[in-house]
Homo-oligomer: A and B are copies of this chain.
Amino acid sequence: MQLEAVVRRLELEQLYTDYVHCLDGDELEHWPDFFTEDCFYRVTSAENYEARMPLGLIHATSRNMLKDRVSALREANIYEPQRYRHLVSSIKIVEEGADTLDLTANFLVVRTMQEGDMTLFAAGRYLDQVRRQDGSWKFARKDVVLDSRQIDTLLAIPI
């Protein structure tokens, strides 16, 4: 492994780190910036993923659809004063394409309610494809594959 490979590895870790802090900091307006314009984003269950069911709890085929999602979440304005905390680990390069990388990583999301109750909100893996664009890595595809069938929330939020 040469320095270039090391640097790339750290850049990819950085991508997930920034992504996670964006979500946990409730900076959802910046969330679509992590994706390419023609991205695919989906939150689905492992069961549906394995059965190749196309749809999911969230399903978007462009960055604009992600922006719409954020607008909908902001407008819905459902009063859920919880906080989410993502733990991501075991980021792995699964395949190297010509100008893309296929990645997987494990995640756990813990939710804390205003009164202090903490729950395991979601666990699963990311199945992602990233592409280098304008000097940084963007998600061209992100499949959020939940270990559970669904997530306990009124309006599905980005994970």
A interface residue numbers (CB < 8 A to B) = 1, 3, 6-7, 9-11, 14, 16-18, 20-21, 24, 46, 83, 85-92, 104, 106, 108, 110, 112, 114-116, 118-120, 123-125, 147-150
Contact = CB atoms under 8 A, between A and B. Distances in A.
A106 B85 contact: yes
A148 B92 contact: no
Given A89-B87, A90-B88, A92-B21, A116 B9 contact: no
Contacts of A115: 149
Given A9-B10, A10-B1, A24 B125 contact: yes
Chain multiplicity (copies): 3
Which of A86, A88, A108 is packed against the most chain B CB atoms within 10 Å?
A: A108
B17 A91 contact: yes
A124 B83 CA distance: 9
A86 B9 CA distance: 21
Given A106-B24, A147-B112, A83 B46 contact: yes
A150 B7 CA distance: 39
Given A16-B90, A86-B90, A89-B89, A118 B110 contact: no
Enumerate the 10 nearest inter-chain pairs by beta-carbon distance, A residue then B residue, closest first: A112-B147, A116-B148, A118-B120, A83-B147, A17-B90, A85-B123, A110-B123, A20-B90, A1-B7, A112-B148
